[in-house]
Amino acid sequence: MTATRPNVLILGGGAGGTMTANALRRRIDADVTVIDKSRTHSYQPAYYLIPFDYMDLDEQQRNTRDLLHKEVEFVHDEVVGIDPDEQTVAGEADSYEYDILISAVGNNRRPDAIPGMLEGWNRTDSVYPFYHASAARALGDAVDEFDGGRFLVTVPDTPIKCGGAPLKLTMLMEEYLRKRGVREDAEIVMTKPGSEVFGTGPKAPYQERIEEIWEDRDITFVPDFTVSEVDYENQTVHSEEGDSLEYDLYAPVPPQYGHEFVVENSPLTDGGEYVSVDDNTLQHETYSNVFALGDNADVPTSRTASAARKQSHVVVDNVERFLEDRPLAPEYDGYTACPILTEKGKAMIAEFDYEDSISAPVVSRLNWILDINVIPSLDWNVWMRGYDPVP
């Protein structure tokens, strides 16, 4: 490290990167820089709400620079490589040195990884990979025009952002069609590569409640279905297991991977897709001055904004400890939370860590209000600013 103020370089201006940058700048005497190829910060939990007009996309976007502390430098550049031995990051426009590197670049949503998925999105009006903002917005028109047939949601065999999002979209669509009076003419289907609609272990209580809701509302879950191809001309999805499903309206979750500059142009992943860090300290397993959080951290928990928020506390604390040559604190316990909206006005909070479920699987109006009205305001005005009264 340098003898002067340490240079902390944060890759990514999303949720994890922004809140960490702001909290670090207030906490330690350091030069903090954020690099991102996008100037726009989006509240991604809005994407599955946009098709039903429960949130407006334009209201859930901000200028990245405006969210950062005035003493945090923002660099608009695309990262192409990381050399932790030389402590440098290569961008399209320049090269950047660091004393501390924090990787918060998220993951790479790739509808092109499934033959026919991207083409179906670009060439038809029946395929909408809703994890992309533009597809979520366009899906709204398709939902309004849908008056019967099969609505299909598929989940890939890769780790994804917010594993509850496809379930939420599925249930909100079922209710939306009921209110429009066309539910009897529609079939609602969701598939996953595994056998559980949500999960086992700490997720089990929420899994059981979701199964009850889906049985009561005649929502079909197809397990052991790994998407291999989208035949958009014949509106059919094929699986690696040899099965096929036709659709009239298709909302796939695209496969998600680590960014190429992390996977191919850095040694940080240890042969995987995401940055190899200790599950509890979030420090890199080889390079002690490298930390990671959010969707690009290779830790065994669900990738959500709430997980990134908790991880941010740990990273900020441990960066300070590292700079002061103190032992790092193994504070991150896998905490994550996912509000599961079951219908308009009702939701369940799935809250758990590496070992246990935390919240009860209760569906209530209060949980809806928290997710739709309270959490977005907290996110923009408190958490993104680096403040958090409940770490």
Q: What is the model's pLDDT at position 95?
A: 98
pLDDT score for 389: 67
One fold for 7-107+258-330 and 110-255 = yes
Question: Which residues are within 8 A (CB) of 132 and not within 5 positions of it... i.e. 6 or more apart?
Answer: 47, 109, 111, 254
> Percent of the chain having pLDDT more than 70?
98
d(CA 376, CA 43): 8
Instruction: Quickly tell me which residue has 């007009």 as its tokens.
Output: 53
- What is the C-alpha to C-alpha distance for residues 380 and 375, in angstroms, rounded to an integer? 9
C-alpha torsion 257→260→265→270, nearest 10: 10
Q: Output the pLDDT for position 391.
A: 61
The predicted model scores a pTM of 0.95
Rg (CA), the chain: 21
Q: For the packed helices 305-323 and 15-27, what is the interaxial angle rounded to 10 degrees?
A: 30
Could you give the count of Cα atoms lying within 13 Å of 115 in the half-sphere of its Cβ?
A: 8
**pLDDT tier, 4 (very low <50, low <70, confident <90, very high otherwise):** confident
Burial of 92 (0-12, 13-18, 19+ CB in 10 A): exposed
Given this model, what pLDDT does residue 367 score? 97
Tell me how far the alpha carbon of residue 138 is from its chain's centroid.
20
Task: Please provide residue 277's backbone torsions phi and psi, each rounded to the nearest 5 degrees.
Answer: -130, 160
Residue 285 confidence class, pLDDT cut points 50, 70, 90: very high
Condensed to tens digits (0 to 9), the pLDDT of residues 110-162 reads 999 999 999 999 999 999 999 999 999 999 999 999 999 999 999 999 999 99
Per-residue model confidence as pLDDT tens digits over 92-107: 999 999 999 999 999 9
Domain 7-107+258-330 has CATH 3.60.10.10: no
Pairing of strands 236-239, 227-231: antiparallel
- How many other CB atoms are found less than 10 A from the CB of residue 178? 14
Three-state DSSP state, 386: coil
CATH T-level fold of 110-255: FAD/NAD(P)-binding domain (3.50.50)
Residue 359 has pLDDT above 80, yes or no: yes
Residue 274 CA: distances (Å) to CA of 95, 266, 287, 297, 349 = 22, 11, 15, 6, 27
Q: Where are the alpha helices (DSSP H) in 148-187?
A: 165-180
Domain boundaries, the chain: 7-107+258-330, 110-255
Identify the pLDDT of residue 2. 47
pLDDT digits 0-9 by tens, 305-354: 999 999 999 999 999 999 999 999 999 999 999 999 999 999 999 999 99
In the structure encoding, which two tokens stand for residue 179, read together?
Answer: 């209110």
